[in-house]
């Protein structure tokens, strides 16, 4: 059987913010003892496990930590928790993505201006939970345009987005808000890396017979890549190469591979090798 063409999306894998966080974590190893991350540093279980093998452990509750090094995750943490951590004798390494920090600063500024803040994103995602903490009392999270129904908007409205949302979803929310508040302040805080990889995923899915989307099942941006690809072709979201089934790729002319922003290169290479091995 003829081996299919394998096309890997150019931007598949680590984005700038994730690469920066991993670099910060790895530079800390050897210089510090007792290194922890507050929650998973990134949304990829396999990479988190690799970091753990190098002495960087993920914890949920830092209450008992004293004299340790604590690395803050890429998604950021709520403002009240940040204040508590600063009062302790901890060596804090802030790996919050700069694009997430920008969104936090905007929300804080809008809150100080008495705006009714709308955050377009997933309510339980760590990034959004942190954003809400900067928003004060007049702050709501909407996951899509339908959740605007019945929501009473204040006279001054400011809108930001989770950095990994799709531009299409944000636009649908904005279009509906503008009908009531045409002067709403709008900040497109979707990061450029997200926009680029979503566009690449769309183009890739249109020219192959199937796409394998690689990334943590807890990764929102990976889920959205899979949703985009599934509109155009057979799509299989996986975390590791071991999940690939031979019948997915046998008999197809071209296979696409893309990956979420927290997926390391070594997992992407494993996926490509697994497809090749199926044919060999």
Which residues have a catalytic role annotated?
127
Q: Is the dihedral of CA 231, 241, 193, 81 positive or negative?
A: positive
Helix crossing, 16-28 with 45-53: angle to 10°? 20
CA distance 127 to 162: 7
Q: Is the dihedral of CA 97, 38, 271, 237 positive or negative?
A: negative
Q: Is the dihedral of CA 167, 168, 173, 176 positive or negative?
A: positive
Task: Give me the residue label for tokens 């809108």.
Answer: 159
Task: Give me the residue label for tokens 């070594």.
Answer: 266
CA distance 127 to 176: 24
- Which are the contacts of 166, defined by CB distance < 8 A and separation ≥ 6? 190, 198, 224, 228
The dihedral region occupied by 272, where left means phi > 0, alpha psi between -120 and 50, and beta the remainder, is alpha
CA distance 158 to 150: 18
In the sheet where 234-238 sits, what is the strand order? 5-8, 254-259, 210-214, 234-238
Say if strands 157-161 and 185-186 run parallel, antiparallel, or are unpaired. Answer: parallel
Nearest Cα to Cα of residue 103 among 137, 70, 141: 141
């Amino acid at each position: 059987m003829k081996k299919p063409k394998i096309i890997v999306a150019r931007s598949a894998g680590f984005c700038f913010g994730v690469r920066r966080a991993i670099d910060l974590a790895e530079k800390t190893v050897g210089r510090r003892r007792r290194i922890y991350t507050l929650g998973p540093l990134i949304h990829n279980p396999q990479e988190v496990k690799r970091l753990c093998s190098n002495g960087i452990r993920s914890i949920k509750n830092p209450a008992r930590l004293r004299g340790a090094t604590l690395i803050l995750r890429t998604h950021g943490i709520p403002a009240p928790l940040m204040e508590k951590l600063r009062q302790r004798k901890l060596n804090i390494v802030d790996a919050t993505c700069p694009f997430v920090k920008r969104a936090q600063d905007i929300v804080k500024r809008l809150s100080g201006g008495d705006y009714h803040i709308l955050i377009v994103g997933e309510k339980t995602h760590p990034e959004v939970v942190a954003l809400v903490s900067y928003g004060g009392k007049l702050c709501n999270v909407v996951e899509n345009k339908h959740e605007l129904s019945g929501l009473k908007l204040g006279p001054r409205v400011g809108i930001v987005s989770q950095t990994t949302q799709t531009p299409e979803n944000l636009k649908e929310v904005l279009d509906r808000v503008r009908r009531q508040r045409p002067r709403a302040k709008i900040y497109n805080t979707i990061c450029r890396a997200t926009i680029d990889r979503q566009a690449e995923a769309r183009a890739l899915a249109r020219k192959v017979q199937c796409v394998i989307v690689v990334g943590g099942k807890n990764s929102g941006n990976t889920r959205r890549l899979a949703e985009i690809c599934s509109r155009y072709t057979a799509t299989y979201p996986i975390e590791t190469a071991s999940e690939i089934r031979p019948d997915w790729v046998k008999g197809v002319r071209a296979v696409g591979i893309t990956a979420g922003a927290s997926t390391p290169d070594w997992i992407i290479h494993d996926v490509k090798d697994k497809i090749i091995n199926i044919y060999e």
